Structure 1
Amino acid sequence: MTTPHRSNRALRLGGLAAAVLLALPSMALPVMAQETASPDAPELDTITVTAQRRTENIQDVPMAITTMDREKVEALTASGDDIRLLSGRLPSLNIESSFGRAFPRFYVRGLGNTDFDLNASQPVSLVYDGVVQENPILKGFPLFDLDGIEMARGPQGTLFGRNSPAGIIKFESARPQDEFGGYARIGVGDRRQVNLEGAITGPVGEHTSARLSIMRQSRADWVDNINNGPGDDLEGYEENAARLQFLFKPSDTFEALANVHARKLEGTARLFRASIIKPGTNELRDDFDRDQVSIDGVNEQQLDQVGGNLRMRWDFGKVSLHSITGYESVDAFSRGDIDGGSRYVGPFPPPFALGQASFPAESADGLPRHRQWSQEFRVESNEWGRFDWQAGLFWFDESIKVDSFSYDTLPSGSVQNGYATQRQDNTAWAVFASGDFEVSDRFTLRGGLRYTDDRKEFVAERVVGPFGPPIAPIKVSPEDTNLSWDLSGVFEASDNVNLYARVATGFRAPSVQGRLMFANAALPSNQLVTVADSETVLSYEAGVKATLWDNRLRLGFALYRYTVDDQQLTAVGGASNIATLVNADRSVGQGAELDLQAWLTDHLFVTFGASYNDTEIQDRTLSVFQCGANCTPLDPVGPIGGTRLIDGNPLPQAPKHVYNLTARYGIPIGNAEFFIYTDWAYRSKVNFFLYESTEFTGDPLLEGGLRLGVNWKDGRYEVAAYGRNITDEEAIVGAIDFNNLTGFLNEPRTWGLEFKANF
């Protein structure tokens, strides 16, 4: 139960936001009407989305959706950043990782999962070219040659299923074309950074076209490990990815799009830095130097991924049949010096110097076996008048093996002294249906149902323990079924303004956590391998979507509130350095979101996004182990020594405020154009863990980018200078809480030059 103070605040927020929602169209229309655009003034392109599994104008879809066009994606990826670059660039979105480029963790409206296990499930679903990417390693596939990005916030359980109670993020690759064309991008930057990207497309037969897309990103090592002498040792990488597509379209009534893709990554794993947090604060130490670390373990990361999908569509006139077949497989290995420093050998009690750890901890995780198959059949109606519908079947099968290794750092060569393994088979199937009915010319109702059956077979064992005996195989078989639903309505208040309301449920299947490497073998098996029961979410949302000012301004505004029952949470790290799954009785979230795009002048285009997300864990008896590091816990003491009660805390990695802004100003110069493009993203402070402490709280973070360039020949050629994190912000974005005050950082400032040619 919320305290009276929080409840009153929530009511004031809700009342204010509701008043803004109701007044926004009436305020905006007269203001915009005061200025009449010139006949040649630029207009906004219509945005079509597939959030409801069919192509629709974004203004007509009754949920909060944000898109990102190709130019913005290319500006953000110029410096070779991975998928985490989207963090804060879309309302209510945060992304972080303790694995670096390989394992992103997504949070939407505060809902996410801090679990670092290769078997972890997330409540944010990522769909790439129509195929769900379930394993967290799959979610890091690079962004290149995309038509665009969509993010639909709120439960998407009816049409997408597969663990999407927080929302979905959809990537759609650029399709093959029946005319020859393509592009090439080459960029160079500081730290010997080289980024290459390109595509070529065209016909390869009478009814077949193809598209080959490639990407290569590399950066030299630039961080010196002073523990082994001078010279740059860490933070470099080399990543390659490719995608080959064939589109077979013999008639207007049938098409088949085949896609094969691959990824290879080699480089540095996440670089942990011991003792970088100033005790009693959450600030970096005064003697901190981003260009240096002192570690006595090995740091390396390799990843190989291959996959393919086949999407087919048959048009039978009154109905169309869709088939999506997907396959993914990934092999990954990541090893790091988890304590983030060299061992402290001075007198006790410390203080520790920068880069010193109280005891060595070096480990690795591997995913030597992984494969995922999915199949969907969907039938949709084609313009049935006032009523349209779609229905389908979905099947999912995944098999994985996770290996965990421990190393003794003290002997020369870091000898392996521990090995544990997990294996899981996950099968799920679902049947779903949805429809929309035009009640009147201005009001449309939508609704849907989805029944899901999810089953897991899991086994974990410790073969060799670094501090304890082997642990015999422990087997669990969680399963559950669920009926998700949604109901929404869209009212056309005017030709340019739509109002909508939506209520929806979501579901995340049971999760299993069995990291046994450092576990106490004397504990009962249900404490060694933990199972989180299914979580369900009930969400309410209302909003307005409008196109104003002679189609030069588009906005969307949404209010939402959700309740998660039995939310799956992960208590990570702590003094025992293990991860444990728990269910909270309830978590609640509420907030507001704004999307805006506008041509402010004939040459200035801006986008703005804003979100307020207020989350709270509500469970008076739930406690988790506090940090093993020298931190300052702020929560009440729990019933067991070393634990803290977390009732009333916000969800981890859930900033209350997220803002983003882009602006592009173009100046015509004959047949060319000089342009300035800038983008900024802000998030407020976050808790790194379920418990609250002074040291493990991330400060607000503001990062910006800048791009100056010239394009000519109707945009066929472009040369630009770019900068990322141009203010050189240095921020702690995550931590390791079992050994000293160890943290990891945001990406450094980078500068570069890029050339692009379209042909």
Structure 2
Amino acid sequence: MIVFASRRALLASAALVFAVPAAAQDTTPSANPAAAAPTTAAASSDQGVTGAATASTDENGLGDIVVTAERRSESIQRVPLSVSAVRGEDLRSFQAGGDDILALSGRVPGLYVETTTGRIFPRFYIRGLGNIDFYLGASQPVSIVQDDVVLEHVVLKSNPVFDVAQTEVLRGPQGSLFGRNTTAGIIKFDTIRPSEEFQARAAGSYGSFDTVTFDAGVGGPIIADKLSFRVSGLYQHRDDWVDNVFAGTSADGTVTPKKNAMGGFDERDVRLQLLATPVDRLSILLSGRARDYDGTSTLFHRAALKKGSNDVSAEPRGQVAYDEAQNNPQRYKSYGGSAHIAYDLDLATITSITAYETAHGYSRGDTDGGAAANFPVNGVPNGFGESQGNLRDLDQWTQELRVASNGDTDFKWQFGGFLFDSRDTTDFYQRAYFLTTAARNPNNWVRLRNVNTSYAVFGQASYRFTPALTLTAGGRVTEDDKRTRLIKTADTAAGAITYRGRTDVSLSDTQPSWDVSALYEATPSLNLYARVARGFRGPTIQGRSAVFNSDFTTAESETNVSWEAGFKSQLFDNTLRFNASAFTYTVKDIQLNGNDVNGNGVLFNADKARAYGLEAEADWRPIPNLAFGVGLSLLHSEIKDPRVFAQVCALNGVVVCTVENPTIKVGTNTFAQINGEPLPNAPEYNVDVTARYDQPLGNGGKAFVAGDFNIQGYTQFVLYRTKEFTANGNHEAGVKLGYVTPDDRFEIALFGRNITNQKNLKGVIENYMAAVFNEPRVIGLSFSARTR
């Protein structure tokens, strides 16, 4: 039997007076600036560095969407896989209320995003497959790719997206072209690149809690036809708005009570791109970026959940009672740069992408979610918990070399190689380190050194056998090596070493990834496709347990074989785009996270997980001034392994939640069988609806109203089934009312995000019955401007 488990800052006017105009990618009429694009999406760049292609439009219909899901520009209707695209303009509208990348959750069929570690550690799930582990060294089966650079470390995955042209979500294994750790899919962000014409855009907003967002980009030629530039920036700010109401004594010097103690943030980001074309055949794109973030880690609300219910309506969103952790500070800085070089050989293009990323920072939190004095047992304060993770240093190098055929020929191909090297030093501090009382232990922390190297060769070929039928096949072989060393152990206050586990663990695996697909043009307006793909997530090492004097835990590689089939259609004189796909997949040796018999977080493999479902998207423009968008995803998932049990919610030996699975006892601990349970954070359904109506005005401008609504079905937050740790019917709505000038260069609007102030349960801390909530309602004013 296996037993396991789991900031006032810039004035609003500063954002609004910057009327620097928007890039060409934003010239497409929007179906809903307040929501995900139900019309055209701006195209990202092709293989390169030659700039982004614009999406075509027609006056009364839908424009074409160009994506780079197969590493070359192609209409989304002719890509034989399930892919969605969100325009940069629409993503910025989502983020007007201060949101970060989590704003995408539920706005794309099959995509769910959450965090219990603040804005520096989002966790992504596609078709239900993700990773609930909050360890700084955790791997995920969803890869984030920004401007052709894979961001592997969980902190790098939180890099803000700004001045972005387009976001693509690719569902299903993408190992052939994008490598390991893509068993669920990838999220691909393409920023607006330098052009040979002057282009500028800006979007600013001011709203509740002094929330300020300012996203801008400006660029153009330096030397005609030879050198151009683009400078982009993002500023986001929110005042602290959550009160700490605890009035007792703190053992670590936290000053309480305190009004407006936490919940705010400051995000500052800048990027510079230089595009050189010294000769017609050669293009060189150099990019450098910097991030400076200061905010609040996730706030847990202890005892917000009552036994027998998942109703959190009585818990005040704007206050907590924390006795420790200095009001949950979180600070990170990161920097990165890349060189993207492409040389045209007529028949083919050679592309080299070299990139370096680095980051450092920390996050501290009151992990029990409340003051222990408020929860006594036999008159004694009960439940102390705080921790801090420090990413001391991270260095990630990547190198890709790719050769790809040119032109729209019957036979298309590409092949190449990829190198990856990531090294980090990470510290974990536990409560005793921070205490100011006699119980302080300055040695209650560990230091880990993690090294991950990977090497791969890959190729893909596509052949158009007939004007209607195209077959594509791709493959990749990857070696993935990981090593974690324990540099410092968690010792007693006197310096005695009590750790007896391993201090140096290495794992290595070599695995193939592949995909085969067929695309059939049934009619000029209907394409049918089918795809089967295999991918793998590399082996993983969990070393954080050493801070509790527990041995490392590990998991071997997981593999996913996925089958899907669907259609892509453009109907009624191109006024309706309707795409849908059905899928099924089996993940063998799936990596899961839970707790061991001592309550320490562990990593392990279960036998398998199976899932099936469908995704559908419809964009409809029945009349020129009215547009609708609907997205739907349905999912059924199951963990399949009768040997695996998960430790349940327990405090002081008492099970505090309502467990609905068969349980066993191991010593004083209770474990639940999870065989047949759904994957955590895998909504059974998700529906996203958007709409926009434009009313032309006599001066040539237009007034508009736009709205969006999202609802998700039953979602389980932990591995076992309970009445408390679930959500069903979580929903949010947004609205936007505005005016666009006659030249389409300026827009001003009133907006609301989470307009009904819905309080949704988004995560839990099991033993403390603690809840994590979604963002509060933000109402404000937004402004955007762009060049024509």
Task: Normalising by structure 1, report the TM-score.
Answer: 0.90
What amino acid is the match of 1:563? T
Structure 1 position 465, deviation (Å): 4.7
Cα deviation digits, residues 409-431 of structure 1 (max 9, x gap): 76469956510122111110100
Structure 1 position 708 matched with structure 2 position 734: no
The 5 A counterparts of 1:340-739 are 340-344=369-373, 348=377, 358-383=382-407, 385-408=409-432, 411=436, 415=440, 417=442, 418-460=444-486, 463-465=489-491, 470-471=498-499, 474-517=503-546, 519-521=548-550, 528-571=551-594, 576-629=598-651, 630-638=656-664, 640=666, 641-669=669-697, 670-738=699-767
Distance 2:498 2:98 in 1: 43
Distance 2:662 2:368 in 1: 27
**Quick one: which amino acid aligns to residue 290 of structure 2?**
A
Report the Cα offset of residue 518 of structure 1: 5.1
Structure 2 partner of 1:257:
285
Q: Give the % identical residues.
A: 38
The answer to whether structure 1 residue 296 and structure 2 residue 296 are counterparts is no
Which letter does structure 1 place at the counterpart of 2:122?
P
Q: Distance between the aligned counterparts of 2:478 and 2:232, measured in 1?
A: 36
How far apart, CA to CA, are the structure 1 residues paired with 2:695 and 2:628?
15
DSSP 3-state at the match of 2:154: coil
Q: Distance in 2 between matches of 1:363 and 1:696?
A: 23
Cα displacement (A) at 1:698: 2.5
Q: Aligned pair in 2 of structure 1 residues 393, 148: CA closer, same or farther (>3 Å)?
A: same
Contact 1:224 1:234 in 2 (8 A): yes
Letter in 1 for 2:397: W
The one-letter code matched in structure 2 to 1:200 is V
Within 5 Å, which residues of 2 pair with 1:35-74? Answer: 42-74=60-92
Residues 182-219 of structure 1, C-alpha deviations (whole Å, 9 max, x = no match): 12222211111122221111111231110000111111
Shift of 1:383: 3.3
Relative to 1, partners in 2 of residues 1:101 and 1:281: Cα closer, same or farther, differing over 3 Å? same
Deviation at 1:648, TM superposition (A): 0.3
Does residue 326 of the first structure (1) align with residue 350 of the second (2)?
no
Question: Partner amino acid for 2:720?
Answer: Y
Q: Which moved more, 1:627-636 or 1:484-493?
A: 627-636
Alignment correspondent of 2:306: 278
Deviations 1:490-537 (A, max 9, x none): 11100110000111101111011011355355xxxxxx2111011111
Aligned residue runs from structure 1 range 210-229, under 5 A: 210-227=229-246, 228-229=256-257
Contact 1:257 1:312 in 2 (8 A): yes
- Aligned AA (1:704): A
User: Aligned partners of 1:517, 1:686: CA distance in 2, in Å?
Assistant: 32
Which amino acid is the alignment partner of residue 470 of structure 2? T
Aligned to 1:74, the other structure's residue is in SS state: helix
Secondary structure, aligned partner of 1:204: strand
Matches within 5 A, 1:66-215: 66-206=84-224, 207-215=226-234
**Distance (whole Å) between structure 2 residues aligned to residue 713 and residue 240 of structure 1:** 33
Quickly say closer, same or farther: Cα 1:414–1:89, change in 2 above 3 A.
farther
| 1:317 maps to 2:349 | no
Q: Deviations over 1:307-353 (max 9, x none)?
A: 01111111111111111111111112000111111113666369xxx
Note the C-alpha offset of 1:460. 2.6
Q: Deviations over 1:423-468 (max 9, x none)?
A: 1111101000110111111111110110101111111365235799
1:696 alignment partner AA: F
Structure-2 separation of matches of 1:234 and 1:757? 33
AA at the equivalent of 1:620: P
AA paired with 1:540?
Answer: W
Secondary structure, in 3 states, of the residue corresponding to 1:231? strand
Question: Any conservation in 1 of the 2:138–2:154 contact (CA below 8 Å)?
Answer: yes
- How many angstroms does 1:285 deviate by? 6.1
Query: Structure 1 residues 480 and 385 mapped into 2: Cα distance closer, same or farther (>3 Å)?
Result: same
Q: Distance in 1 between matches of 2:473 and 2:258?
A: 64
CA shift in 2, pair 1:346/1:129, >3 Å: closer
Deviation at 1:71, TM superposition (A): 2.6
Residue identity in the other structure for 2:238? R
Deviates more, 1:726-735 or 1:379-388: 379-388
Q: Which moved more, 1:73-82 or 1:408-417?
A: 408-417
| In 1, Cα distance between equivalents of 2:428 and 2:487 | 10
Gaps of 5+ in 1: 1-38, 351-355, 522-527
Contact 2:619–2:627, Cα closer than 8 Å, also in 1: yes
Relative to structure 1, the CA distance from residue 187 to residue 512 in structure 2 (aligned partners, 3 Å threshold; closer, same or farther) is same
Contact 2:614–2:634 (8 Å) recurs in 1: yes
Amino acid of the structure 2 residue aligned with 1:214? G
Contact 2:546 2:552 in 1 (8 A): no
The change in CA–CA distance for 1:492 and 1:49 in structure 2 (over 3 A counts) is same
Q: Secondary structure at the match of 1:464?
A: coil
Preserved CA contact (<8 Å) 1:94 1:654: yes
Report the number of matched residues: 707
Q: Aligned partners of 2:559, 2:92: CA distance in 1, in Å?
A: 37
Q: Does residue 233 in structure 1 map to residue 254 in structure 2?
A: no
CA distance in 2, matches of 1:617, 1:301: 34
Question: Aligned equivalents of 2:262 and 2:576: distance in 1?
Answer: 46
Contact 1:461 1:516 in 2 (8 A): no
Q: What is the CA–CA distance in structure 1 between the aligned matches of 2:375 and 2:239, rounded to whole Å?
A: 35
| RMSD value, Cα | 2.0
> Which of 747-756 and 461-470 deviates more?
461-470
Contact 1:340 1:357 in 2 (8 A): no
Aligned mates of 1:498, 1:377 — CA distance in 2: 32
Alignment partners' CA distance in 1, 2:191 and 2:392: 28
Supply the AA of the counterpart residue of 2:142.
V
What per-residue deviation string (whole Å, max 9, x for no partner) do you get for residues 1-52 of structure 1?
Answer: xxxxxxxxxxxxxxxxxxxxxxxxxxxxxxxxxxxxxx98512111111111
Letter in 2 for 1:542: A
Q: Cα–Cα, structure 1 residues 708 and 575, in superposed 2: closer, same or farther, change >3 Å?
A: farther
Corresponding letter in the other structure for 2:647: F
Aligned to 2:271: 243
Match of 2:24 in 1: none
Report deviation, 1:682: 1.6
SS in structure 1 of the partner of residue 176 of structure 2:
coil
**Kept in 1: contact 2:112–2:126 (CA 8 A):** yes
The 3-state SS of whatever aligns with 1:179 is: coil
Deviation at 1:407, TM superposition (A): 2.2
CA distance in 2, matches of 1:415, 1:705: 48
Name the CA distance, whole Å, in 1 between partners of 2:238 and 2:514: 47
Q: Partners in 2 of 1:414 and 1:59 — Cα distance?
A: 64
Query: Is 1:758 paired with 2:786?
Result: yes
